[in-house]
A and B are shown apart, each in its own frame.
Chain A
Amino acid sequence: METIEAAEQKPKSTPFLHSLFGAPPTPGEPVVQRYSRTVRVLHWVNAVAWVVLIVTGLFLFVPQFGDAAVGGLSRLFHRIGAVVMVGWALIYVVGDPRSTWAGIKDAFKWGKCDLGWLVAAIPYYFFGKEESTIRIRGFSRTIEMPPQHHMNTGQKLWWLFVLGGGALMIITGALMWFFKDLISPGAFMWSAFFHDIGFIILLVFAFVHVYLSVFHPKMRGIFWSMWGGTISAEYASSHHKKWYDDVTEKEGSEPTKDE
């Protein structure tokens, strides 16, 4: 797989979309392949299912939206969304267990750069500072965002939330759906309760995810990597230095796996 290439096939986009999602790499600009087609399809199918689940979930969870749930169609779509999301992920897992394993491993592989990220995250993301200096009674320290791997720490965190939250949602959801008659009414009610907790957490982090990948000023344009699969070499080197170095150094060899 070629990792650096000219962006010949620019995503078809309009200025409106650019203003919404940020600009994709400009034609001719050096790009790095970031997400394979499989991953992108997986992501977008899941994203659609996610949206369906969130919307129908809101209908069911929020009494004020209850009227929308009357008739039971929202329950049907909620179930379809769940099946698509879980099923699609399972297909991926079964189809390419090695990549799955590698991806999961990445999320759990934390190093020094992750600690540095945590320290630098607030000034970096919240205030948009590349580096800042803390001075307390003569002690001064410059905080700088360390170079990141293919997944930066925030992405690892998100990934962990998705894995953990997903498991919670799948287990409690399945209890309510398939094992309703086997569990006690109390167990059902608590399943619903934790399903709701999972819902709230995942909903909030979904906001964060969308915000960071679409709107955050420091990451404008990253959205298109999940569309066309590439990012500009410049973005890669500035946001994922370690990964960028890896792929450019080991060009021709198997790059760090996507995901």
Chain B
Amino acid sequence: MTNHWIDLRNADCIMVIGSNAAENHPISFRWVTAAKERGAKLVSVDPRFTRTSSKADLYAPIRSGTDITFIGGLIRYILNDMQSLTPAERAKKYNLTYATQYTNAALIVNDGFEGWNDSRHPGLFVGFSGNSGAAPGKLGAYDKSNWNYANTTNPNVDTALVNNTWTDWTDLNPNCVLRLLWENYKDLTPDMVEDVTGCPQDTFLQVCQTYAATGAPGKAGTIMYAMGTTQHTYGTQNIRGYAIMQLLLGNIGVAGGGINALRGTSNVQGSTDMCLLSHILPGYLAVVDHTDQTFDDYIARNRASKLPVNPSGLAGDKSASWWWLSDEAQNYKKYLVSLLKAWWMDHATAGNGFCFDYLPKVTKGHDYTHIGTFEAMAQGVIKGMMVWGQNPAVGGPDSQGERHAMDNLEWLMVADLFETETAAFWKRPDPESADPTKRVDSSQINTEVFLLPAACSYEKQGSISNSGRWAQWRYKAITPIGQAKADLAIMDELMLKVKEKYAGETGPLADPINKLHWDYYTSGDYANEADPNAVAFEIHGYYVADKSPVKNFVSLATDGSTCCGNWLYSGMFTTDGRNRAKDRDPVDASLNQIGLYSNWSWCWPINRRIIYNRASVDFDGQPWDSEHPVIQYNGGWAGDVPDGGWAPINLAAAGEKYLPFIMQPEGVAHIWGPGRAEGPFPVVYEPWESPLDKNLVTGVANSDPTGKGTPGFNNPCCYVGNLEGWNKRGTPSQFPYVGMTYRVSEHWQAGQMTRNHPWLNELQPEVFAELGPELAAEKGIRNGDKIRVATARGYVLGVAIVTKRFRRMTIGGKSVDHIGVPWHWGFTGRSSAFHSSGNILTPHVGDANTTIPEYKTFLCNIEKA
């Protein structure tokens, strides 16, 4: 979240899209309800009418996977509205200072750039090189050399736009970002939106009017999104769509605004911060790839992409580009060196590149995400797996295929509270059998499985970082039951054992392990068990010489005098050693009590509760919204920790007028975002399995419905897995209905913790599939009937919920029905009556940028079982 949970109450309009917050983030509705009581409007955009929709002022149904069309249509509405107004009205209705000077809307792009609606390459931007040059698994790739500003170091701006003197699009430079954006979405008329998404035009227009109203200075609209947004082959671009809309409306950095990723578990934020992802090191530093032969190679590569780019023609004349402010303030390097020091301490010296060579290196372009890992497992590349707090046999896409891939493992370690489906994959239901109680022949599976009993969250202490980036310390309530141990204790024991095995050896494999700094024992309970407090202290960072805490990441150095496990968390401790994650001051001392509660726990970076908050004030440092001021300048900054302590633009000296988005090389936010794999703007693509035979927006036909995908119909850069043949693709003729998976309030993720709980099980005891009355009538399915939902990859048994909350849509003149299956259930523990898991249905395909699996849209069929 750019903002935080409590801040939702400051919104004037809340759009919940790609999320079912009321059900999956129930506590968030405390603040949504508070906002509604203030008069805020709640908009729910969802293929199905959910418990969130039940509380919404406006419910907009859309076909699963058509967010870009919906948001693109909204962006078009906003742009057309801006254009049609007189400059004076425009300035009243929209925060133009923000839209044109805090974003790259006015910057001029390279002449060579061509949009997707260029008839020479329909549906594709300039530079598509097809499958040649694409990384393994990717449908295609781009040569992005033309996706850049015309002037790469000092991009020019369109002065008519910045000065608000334009009346028609032709008044703007044809390569100005805002005009390119309009070109990108001009076809998404309300007619088109209805045709593609199924959302009735009048509903769509009501949403447009309601949400666009948050563009006025002093108004805030917020987006709550979750996996309904991200889990698509174009999930990243879905979020880009929200970001662009929010930037046009001046909604980022302000109280009650932002785009807020509602994390799927209590500590997902913390896990990504700490790099439980394959493409980063802790603190979002780039992972080392095979082209980084030396420490200097790596630094040079990243310096190049982080150098400040100073736009010319904006009120602000300086970009901070915090990562690499200047060659004197090379923060990126400080963070990496301090990280290497934390890991190899005394062995890491300037002379040996701070043990840079000990870092594992990835092969550039190779996919190391969940999907890529299971592809490699299916190919027999991966021989062993440790599964910690995960249950991929239920949670993974195409889970029959993934379970099958696990047959290739020589060993498998699972640390969990219960025997999960993953730990029991060798006695899974036989996918070939119509009888789900028939199990596979486990005599043919040679994997050795180790099931380690893990402590649950109440049995250990440590921090969790919530969606609002608040790191909150939690204490142990009870001692772990039986032989269960905290994850940290398990990891510690394991690492010490590995060290023992390598003891006495030298060489590139043994050295990183033997020399690893591993010292987390303290005293008391932690005399012989790793102390989470010691880990936290290392994450915060300290001076190597005397082990005294650094102040925060500003204190980190490139010379190896500091160590820091994660620069983002540097600042969590005070200089006298108090862990601020343990702070519990319930007093809200923020300006106008906007709910920052800055002394309750601690949040990164340096306790900034709303990031990009310099965008919440004008050039004089005064808040756009005086009712909800995040920060304010009165000779000094008051309120939240400002995003850089420099004086406001109007009050700063020339050469020090810093633009608000300090992490971006340009200092302004990205409406134009060339960093994404499939284009600088989101384009309407169809899901990998689409009920349509032609992309209604790009006009590209689904020319190869059984192949890997059609660039321009589908996302041209998405990841298409194979799983040794298990990832089959269904066609609309065999599988005419749009399927989707989701969660319910009553169960947690892959379900082990809740399915084994009688109180929760009582509430949602069985796998079910929801469908609308029209489809049910055609199929002769009555409410409560036992049904079978099938895709090209497998089938699920469950109970039918026939409900008017699912409605038939007309898409491109064709009737489209949705079927929804929650994915919590499996074949072990309680409530496994149907032995079915929703993810048996989902395909092994992923997003072009993150390879997050496509869980939300696929083709399926349904029949009475």
A and B touch in the complex (CB under 8 A): no
Chain B: residues with CB nearer than 8 A to chain A? none
